[in-house]
Amino acid sequence: MPCPGPKMMKFRGPPLWNIVGRPVAAMDGFKYSPVMQGRGGKWNFEDLNIFISDPCRTLPGTDMGSNGLQDEADRADLIVYLSMNSDEPMLAEWCNPCRPQLPAADFEQPVVGMGSALA
């Protein structure tokens, strides 16, 4: 059976096609957690990096049951992959041809919001 590709695959979460630059909690027909619905803003590279690093800690109350990706290089690879799986592929501003350089996720204090959307 041929692979259906990222646009047609079934996941527990919302479709990730066009995630970079898309408003948070904006996919019609998907039941988002109240905390995700209230987050606001759009998914950018920095916010995805922080969220993917530890979803439950960066957005307490999210339904995303994942410990996150702790390895910075793995997160960078995933974010570049997500940014390229789009109707309008883009690369992060912090990306170089060899490896993206991500801003560090700081867990010294509890996170109230992510990135500039809630700052």
Domains of the chain as residue ranges with CATH: 34-103+111-117 (1.10.760.10)
Residue indicated by tokens 């919302």: 14
Cβ proximity of 15 and 42 under 8 Å: no
Predicted structure pTM score: 0.66
What does the pLDDT read at residue 109?
39
**Quick one: pLDDT at residue 80?**
87
Alpha helices, DSSP H, located in 1-118: 34-37, 45-53, 55-58, 72-84
Instruction: Give residue 1's pLDDT.
Output: 42
Give the residue among 66, 56, 18 at the shortest CA–CA distance from 35. 56
Condensed to tens digits (0 to 9), the pLDDT of residues 18-64 reads: 898 899 999 888 899 999 899 889 998 889 999 999 888 888 888 88
